[in-house]
Amino acid sequence: GGEVVPGWERGGAVLVRGICDVYWQGEGGLYLRGYKTDRVGKEDGEQVLVRRYRAQLSYYADALSRAMGLPVREVYLYSFTLNRLITGFVI
């Protein structure tokens, strides 16, 4: 399945272009990490980043899985502002 973005016709080709920060092959599949420098508040910053980047990381995970023929097991974000690794993405 794919996601249909409002304003795009179903069935048309869409190119999504981006650069994955880092990935590696580990136990049982692939692992993906994105690094973010967004200034976010300490109280809600983690939730803001998850909302902001969930779709992007989902696209990267799908493309990586297709290209490598392996499942993506974990997706992480590292926030330089929060100095924290954000885990638990449901992709």
Confidence of residue 17 (pLDDT cuts 50, 70, 90): confident
Q: What is the mean pLDDT of residues 16-35?
A: 93
Question: In whole angstroms, how far apart are CA 8 and each of 3, 5, 13, 14, 84?
Answer: 10, 6, 9, 9, 36
Please tell me the predicted confidence (pLDDT) of residue 7: 63
Confidence of residue 9 (pLDDT cuts 50, 70, 90): low
Q: What is the mean pLDDT of residues 37-47?
A: 95
Token code pair at residue 85:
């690794």
pTM to 2 decimal places: 0.79
